[in-house]
Each structure stands twice: as structure tokens, then as C-alpha cells.
Amino acid sequence: MSLPNRDNPYSFDEYLRWRRDVDYYADDPFLQKVLRAYAGGAFEAADREARSVSRKASFRWRDLSERIAWPENRPYMMHFDGHNHRIDRIVRPAELEAMEREVFGERLFADSTDPWVKLIKMFLIYQNGEAGIACPLTCTEGLVELLKKHAVSPELLTILRHCQEGLDGSIAIGAQYLSEIQGGSDVPANLLEAVPESSQRAGSGDAFRLYGKKFFCSATHADYAVVTAKPTGSEKVGLFVVPSWLPGDKAREVRNGYTIDRLKWKLGTCELPTAEITFDGALAYPVGPLASGLANVVGVVLTCSRLTVGLSGAAGMTRGVREARRYAEFRTAFGLPLAQFPLVAGQLAEMQTLAERSTAAAFRMYRDYLAMDGELSLSRDEPLATKKRRFQVRELVMLQKITNAWDSTDVSRMAMSIFGGHGVMEDFSSLPRLFRDAVINEQWEGPRNVLLTQIHRDLQKAAEWYAPAELVADVLAGAPAPKVQALQAELTELVSHPSLFGLDAETIEICRRWDALCHRFFHAYQDVARAEVNAISA
């Protein structure tokens, strides 16, 4: 019999020692199998690079991410210097700036970096949450992909080189500003005006000047932003790249014709500045045909961001379940390790399934995205079989975005509850921060309802050359037949409903079923990927 000891010796140290020493890649055999399953001939190099970057992500960058998350380290604005010059300096902790240099120093978007090396590094880095790094990384990737397709002018080619290889020893960071106060989803309703420079000043090529406001501008510290705006006299959204500072002005802190009005106070991604901006004559370079601005921002820039939301959701789940499982083995209640309570065991198993299926599918889909050369527009002339494969990837990117954003919120909440009261303590583990970041992932890059509506419209439009039942059969090849047949029947039925816009009882019920069906459909796809990974030997 044990008697009470008033000098309570209880300690978390055994658990903390384990957590301190976990290597995100070396200690994750499932992740290694996922990489082996999908990286093909790039596996050896990607595996080697993953081991190397994991030693940074799992220890130094993990600790820096924790340190910069404290409320007193959040970014803030200095609008003026001591001599009454407007500078709009975003003050961020030195630790974040150091980590940013190190992460961007990996040159993830250089032509010499294999896409699989980039992907596995991003997955490992994302296990640390947003940390002021995840959004700038994906925005830079979107900017690079856009410029690789459309940069022709010397100015844009220099910006591309700056983002890929660096200039004067620094690698540039990108941002993307689409959302305005009257609507973030409804980009065609943008009001920001792009005035041709030539109408203001003769001989200035095809540059523009921007006037108006953007209301959600994350990674505001970036060097360049992709910005949507309407050219004077046009109702069509064009796409522009805007330098934050014109050459020579960064050191003098003179911004390029815009002011940062305030930083937003957010639930999550708190280490990342998100600002409201007024443009008053910012110099902007058009990218791609002006009339295709919307198609390019959605097809190229938002596709990269949506893939990242999927990948970072999987990364967050992987970390959440790993830490919760070990805690449940360490911690006892009523004389038993938590993991031995059937309720807890069942929850851990569910979390594990969600983490593994989302990780496997994120890598599988990336393989298929690469096979399409990252081009998801259906307007080209190509064999029907290729067009169908492109369509699959295009829809899966949206399905993954909404599913992983949703599931990662659930998994981090479930993981917190395994820790009981300690789960919601910000200085006990990273889980509250990962949870708050996951909630943000649901909102940006296309909220759930908007993407569900888009997927329904896409499937309807494609139905005459790609029947919903055939799409389901192709995407779920290898899944159990009864599951495939049930999904085929329901998808066919719901896609045949003329529109999701009627406010009648039937349409509302169809919408409710559509939401649940899309979730199940993507889980079925994820389960095919997970089974594929589990079938290979380590």
C-alpha cells in the first residue's frame, strides 16, 4: 500500500526527454515508406536530404518556433521613424528572422532542387506549425511557379531569380494579396484599380500603378506580392507582381507606393503578420495576359497554396498523434496508462488513421500533380485520357484542401483532450498553437463552402465527357467494390441536382449531403493511398 507523500515527486521529465529527442523523419517509419512509395527515382536523394533537414526542423527550428510563439514576440508595426519618415517597419523577433534565413537558405524553389526534396522538407518544416514560415514559403512557391510560366520582362525575370537563387546574398520572399473588405472568396468583385503607367508617364513600358485597398495581406514582410486588380476600364481581374520596395529603397525603408495600415489580431498563425494595406500608386508589373488574371491566380498560385494546406494539415496531424500517443503511454490515471482505456485507445487509433491517410494521399496526389507538369487548366488540346487525369488532380487538390483542414482541426483538438487540462496549456505543448493554426487553414485559400460549390459546378460541367461514376471508379481504383459503387451512386445523384444555389428545402438537403459525401469520397481516396503505402516493405 502506498501512503500519501506530501513532497509530491510527480514529474513529466520522462515524457519530456522522449519528446526532446524525437527526430521527425528518422523516427517515423511510416513517413519513410510514404516517400519510398511515391518519390520514384528521387527517393534516395530525398531520403538523404530529409534526414539532414529533419535534424534542424525537429530540434533547432522546433525550439525557435516555440520561442517566437510567445505573445510578447508577436510582430508589430513601427509606422514612423524618429524623424517623421513613414517606414511601416514590421518588427519581428530576431529568432524568427534567423530561422527564416535558414529555411529559405534551403533554396526549396531553385531549379536545382528536386520537387521531392522540396516536398519532404516542407512536410518536416510544417510539423512546427505556421511559425511565421509556412505561409511565406507557399506564397513564394506560388510566385515562382507563376513567374516560371509567365515572366518575360527583365524586371520579372530578376524577381524570379531573386526568389529562386537569391540576389546579393538574400533569397526573396513572396506574398499574395487578393482579398478585399467586401469579399475574399469573390475575387471577381475586386475594386483595386490598376492604372497603366503609360497613361500617367510616357515611355514607361507596360507597368501599372495600383490604387485602393487590400484587407487580408499575410507575409506582409515579403519582398514581392502577387496582387489582383482591375485595369482601368476593365471588369476583368488582372494579375500583377508588386515589389515591396523599389531597387535601392529597402535599406532606406521607403515602401513602393503603399502604406500598411494595421496588423490584424488573429486567433492563429499569430507569428505571421497579416495586414490591411492601402495602395496609392504602387508600381506593379502585369504577369501573364491581363484577361487571364483570375485563371492564373486560381490555377497556379492558389493551387500551390491549397496543396500546402493539405500537406501542412497532414504534418500537423502527424505531430499531434505522435505526441498524444506517447503521452497516453506515459501518463497513468486510476493506476492504468491512459492508452489502456479502450475509449482512449479508440481515439488514438482514429487519429492515427487520419494522420496516415492524409500523409499518404498528399504525397500520392503530388506525384500525379507533377505528372501533369503542375498545369491544371483544362483548356488545352490533348487526348481525352490525359484531360481526365488532369481533371482528377484538379478536383482532388480542392477536396484535399477542405478535408485536411477539417481533419487537422479535429485531430489537434482530440490530441489536446488526451492531455486533459495540460492539453490546453500553451506552454505545455505545441498542440494549442497547432490547433489555432489549423482553424486558419480552414479559412484561407478557399473556404469549405466555396470549394464544395466549385467542385459541384466542375463535375456538372465535365459530366458529358467524364461521367461522375467513371471519375469515382478511376480515382478509387483498388478500393473495395461496394464502397466504390455506393459513392458512384450518390455522386451521380447529387451532381444531377441542377444547382446548389436554390434556397428550397430539397437543395439545402442536397447541400448537406454533398458536404458529407465529398468528405467520404476523399477519405476513400486517402485510404487507397494508405493501403498502397502499407503494402510496400520498409
The DSSP element (H or E) to which 294 belongs, if any, is: helix 293-296
Determine contact, residues 257/280, Cβ cutoff 8 Å: yes
The DSSP element (H or E) to which 380 belongs, if any, is: none
Q: How far is Cα 42 from Cα 120, in angstroms, rounded to an integer?
A: 11
Q: Which of 266, 326, 367, 413 binds ligand FAD (CB under 6 A)?
A: 266
Q: Per-residue string for binding with ligand FAD, 341-370, x by CB under 6 A?
A: ------------------------------
Q: How far is Cα 231 from Cα 291, in angstroms, rounded to an integer?
A: 10
* Least distance to ligand FAD, CB of residue 182, Å: 8
* Residue of 182, 62, 189, 46 whose CA lies nearest to 119: 46
Q: How far is Cα 248 from Cα 256, in angstroms, rounded to an integer?
A: 11
Q: How far is Cα 434 from Cα 454, in angstroms, rounded to an integer?
A: 28
* Least distance to ligand FAD, CB of residue 156, Å: 20
Determine contact, residues 209/258, Cβ cutoff 8 Å: no
Q: Which three cell numbers stand for residue 48?
A: 538523404
Q: Which of 176, 392, 429, 441 binds ligand FAD (CB under 6 A)?
A: 176
Number of residues near ligand FAD (by CB under 6 A): 22
Instruction: Compute CA 336 distance to the chain's CA centroid, rounded to the nearest angstrom.
Output: 39
* Least distance to ligand FAD, CB of residue 188, Å: 11
Stretch in the footprint of ligand FAD (CB under 6 A) among 116-124, 179-187, 248-256, 325-333: 179-187
Q: Which of 158, 259, 417, 453 binds ligand FAD (CB under 6 A)?
A: 453
Is 460 an interacting residue with respect to ligand FAD (CB under 6 A)? no
Is 170 an interacting residue with respect to ligand FAD (CB under 6 A)? no
Is 274 an interacting residue with respect to ligand FAD (CB under 6 A)? yes
Q: How far is CA 28 from CA 2, 32, 317, 339, in A?
A: 39, 7, 13, 20
Is 269 an interacting residue with respect to ligand FAD (CB under 6 A)? yes
Is 184 an interacting residue with respect to ligand FAD (CB under 6 A)? yes
* Least distance to ligand FAD, CB of residue 181, Å: 8
* Least distance to ligand FAD, CB of residue 223, Å: 15
Query: Which amino acid is present at 496?
Result: S
Instruction: Compute CA 37 distance to the chain's CA centroid, rounded to the nearest angstrom.
Output: 23
Is 499 an interacting residue with respect to ligand FAD (CB under 6 A)? no
Residue in the shown chain whose Cβ atom is closest to ligand FAD: 184
Is 217 an interacting residue with respect to ligand FAD (CB under 6 A)? yes
Q: Per-residue string for binding with ligand FAD, 429-448, x by CB under 6 A?
A: -----------x--xx--xx
Q: Which is nearer to ligand FAD, 199 or 449 (CB)?
A: 449
Q: Which of 32, 127, 218, 256 binds ligand FAD (CB under 6 A)?
A: 218
Q: How far is Cα 212 from Cα 180, in angstroms, rounded to an integer?
A: 10
The dihedrals phi and psi of 288, each to the nearest 5 degrees, come to 70, 175
Is 126 an interacting residue with respect to ligand FAD (CB under 6 A)? no
Q: How far is Cα 215 from Cα 213, in angstroms, rounded to an integer?
A: 6
The dihedrals phi and psi of 175, each to the nearest 5 degrees, come to -140, 175
* Least distance to ligand FAD, CB of residue 517, Å: 16
Stretch in the footprint of ligand FAD (CB under 6 A) among 116-124, 183-191, 305-313, 407-415: 183-191
Q: Which three cell numbers stand for residue 293?
A: 488574371
Residue 59: DSSP 8-state: I
Is 153 an interacting residue with respect to ligand FAD (CB under 6 A)? no
Q: How far is CA 351 from CA 53, 348, 363, 411, 416, in A?
A: 26, 5, 19, 6, 12
* Least distance to ligand FAD, CB of residue 451, Å: 8
Q: Which is nearer to ligand FAD, 217 or 510 (CB)?
A: 217
**What does the binding site for ligand FAD look like in residue numbers (CB under 6 A)?**
176-179, 183-186, 216-218, 266, 269, 274, 440, 443-444, 447-450, 453
